[in-house]
Amino acid sequence: MASEGSDMGSTGEINGSGNLMDFLDEPIPDVGTYEDFHTIDWLREKSRDTDRHRKIANKSKESIWEFIKGLLDAWSGWVVMLLIGLLAGTLAGVIDLAVDWMTDLKEGVCLSAFWYSHEQCCWTSNETTFDDRDKCPQWQKWSELMVGRSEGASAYVLNYFLYVMWALTFAFLAVSLVRVFAPYACGSGIPEIKTILSGFIIRGYLGKWTLLIKTVTLVLAVSSGLSLGKEGPLVHVACCCGNLFSGLFSKYSKNEAKRREKQDGVVSSSVVYFIEDAPQSPASSPQSLKLRRILNLCPFTVTDHTPMETVVDIFRKLGLRQCLVTRSGRLLGIITKKDVLRHMAQMANQDPESIMFN
């Protein structure tokens, strides 16, 4: 009873303080700063965001200007997603067009405009028919341009040699740029992004240099003929755009948890499903459950009115290790897996060591 009284006293001191972060900042002075290859403190970041919301709500009642600033803070999420969509969509279009052009560049060049691909070059020709839409005088193979011949063994060998040389050049440039300027730009990036979303810190993985080099080398790698796709790495490109614009707003730049919430939305919107190529499932087959649509990577939150039986059921079904307890948006405490086991032991009058989750 004495220990319970002391716990209640400390809880009252925490709840009675006007600023929750004043208590949370005492053990760790440099809160919010994390070293490379460390994990973030979800509970602390959530508390910081709750405290920030409370300050904005209190200040918005003081003047019209503070009220407008509160509205701008609320709309910042929509502004960030709009900017991310515009930049990511623009880069995706540029990458797609550049890949088509550089892929055709291995075979020949358009004389009227060298930046045109084979298809675009023949579109502009008035001498092209529908049956011969891939043949036009403006597009010439390398053998025609160099030796003036398009048929024969020598023309075939020259075209083959230049095709291989262009492919090797593109691949060499892609590898060199990644190795020298942005090593984090290699690979698809999806496994690392999943790790970052779970709370891991990888400095520079979503930086500006990574975005620039990833965009350029993605074009080079796909155009070289490597067995690669550009759709997967575009998720990494979109997340770099999200990190770039999130840094412009203090709501996300000063809170790692909020930044990851925005990155989670970017990842979800960046994944493209090709319905036309996907096999149709039978009508009687059960629909797959996508937990990302209903769950958040941030700590699970319950209110102080949630029955303990419901909390136990949530822990068992979702495999949680902890969840936050809130009241009207204010953090009250945390329930851990150990607390749930202790509650189950008290209800069943058993030893907590013998209770296992199934």
Token pair in block for residue 285? 């087959």
pLDDT in tens, 226-240: 888 888 888 899 999
Q: Alpha-carbon distance 160 to 142, whole Å? A: 10
pLDDT in tens, 274-300: 223 334 444 444 454 444 444 444 567
Tell me how far CA of residue 322 lies from CA of 51, 94, 140, in angstroms.
21, 44, 66
Give pLDDT, residue 35: 85
Rg (CA), the chain: 29
DSSP 332: E
Closest CA to 269 of 246, 233, 239: 239
Give mean pLDDT, residues 131-154: 79
Give pLDDT, residue 299: 66
Say what the alpha-carbon torsion angle 16, 22, 28, 29 is, to the nearest 10 degrees: -160
Percentage helix, strand, coil, to 5, in the chain?
Answer: 60, 5, 35
**Ranges for all domains in the chain classified under CATH 3.90.1280.20:** 299-358
Q: Alpha-carbon distance 297 to 197, whole Å? A: 7
pLDDT in tens, 13-65: 444 444 444 444 444 444 447 888 888 888 888 888 888 888 888 888 888 88
The residue that leads in pLDDT, 341 or 181, is 181
Which range has the worst mean pLDDT, 71-75, 304-308, 316-320, 324-328?
Answer: 316-320
| 299-358 belongs to CATH 3.90.1280.20 | yes
DSSP 200: B
The residue that leads in pLDDT, 115 or 215, is 215
The residue that leads in pLDDT, 249 or 6, is 249
Give mean pLDDT, residues 75-80: 89
- Could you tell me the sign of the dihedral formed by the alpha carbons of 288, 294, 296, 300, in that order? negative
Average pLDDT, whole number, for the chain?
78
Give pLDDT, residue 59: 87
Q: Alpha-carbon distance 214 to 230, whole Å? A: 11
Sheet strands (E) in 70-216: 108-110, 139-141
DSSP 275: T
Q: Alpha-carbon distance 205 to 211, whole Å? A: 9
Token pair in block for residue 352? 């907590």
Which range has the worst mean pLDDT, 1-5, 89-93, 115-119, 258-262?
Answer: 1-5
